Amino acid sequence: MTDTQLVTIDDIEAAAEVLDSVAVRTPLLPADTVSERVGAPVYLKPEMLQRSGAFKFRGAYNFLARMDPELRRRGVIAPSSGNHAQAVALAAKLFGVPATVVMPTTVTAAKRGGAERLGARVVLAGKTTADRMAKAEELVESEGFTLVPPYDHPVIIAGQGTVGLEIAEDLEEVDAVLVPVGGGGFSAGVATAVKARCPRARVIGVEPTNAPKLSRAREAGHPVKLDHTAGLADGLLAVEVGALPFAHHQRFVDEVVTVDDDALVRAMRILLDRMKIVVEPSGAITVAALLEGKFKPRGPTVAVLSGGNIEWDGLRELLAG
């Protein structure tokens, strides 16, 4: 893939204009507890404060805003483990169009309930990304919906990249940015924006130990489909990184590290106990990487908290021990 096909900083700036006054511009929060433990200033980008509870709203709204109005009126559909579904449901509600979301049979009550409260029709299909995509494509064919891709699309990547744009604007001296890796659209967009605005900054992708799709792809030089993924970070369990995101990763992501489930729970507890921040497991993965020494910062570092779609019962179950 040539550079001309990659999402550019101009695309991300255009997405920022679309999202202006619609999306929340999340702040950078000093993380003193984490800073003291790692020996460098750490800031948190709390995307759990974003509308729908995660960064996904940025890409979903950007996509719907750029749709042909007639197609949009027919309705949209989104395959998702949870956060993309809620983001598309909210974007569709704001545009006054119907939304259907295809979620796994193992979806958490918080994420299913969130999509339903936002007015989406929920369809359950299997446990894997492939299961959800197959069902969504079936409904596109039978009901005339437009599919809103979760990550492998330039408009989605541009919308998610506005997180990186905000980081670069708010912390010009940033030395490193840690970002979670699921299907790769978020990390691709953030990396693109950060490198365009702060070229000396390092971008670190963080993925679950039991879902190392970007690590394997970088070893192979192309996306690799994993046989199986598992773990607490349900938003990061894609079996394969997207083709377009991978092209961005190869150009803009400096390093990829992995974190296990026990580390996620420890990070969630510290964020709750010391900073009064509630995140879902996927959202805690960047802080976990810092606390576990998977990446050693040497200057001002930003850990992106990707989402907080977890409710009391799920939080209590995870943190009870």
Catalytic residue positions, numbered? 56, 306
The C-alpha atoms of residue 140 and residue 132 are separated, in whole angstroms, by: 12
Torsion of CA 131, 137, 141, 145, to 10 degrees: 120
Instruction: Evaluate whether 101 touches 43 at the Cβ level (below 8 Å).
Output: no
Helix (H) or strand (E) holding 59: helix 56-65
Q: Is 240 helix (H, G, I), strand (E, B) or coil?
A: coil
What is the DSSP code (8-state) at residue 257? E
Give the DSSP per-residue string, 196-222.
HH-TTSEEEEEEETT--HHHHHHHHTS
Parallel, antiparallel or unpaired: strands 29-30 and 42-46: antiparallel
Which 3 state secondary structure label does DSSP give 57? helix
HSE of 261 in the Cβ direction (CA atoms, 13 Å)?
11
SS3 of the chain: helix, strand, coil, percent, to 5: 50, 15, 35
Tokens of 244: 């377009």
C-alpha 127/C-alpha 197 separation (Å) is 39
* Nearest CA among 235, 226, 228 for reference residue 206: 235
Under 8 Å between Cβ of 259 and 206: yes
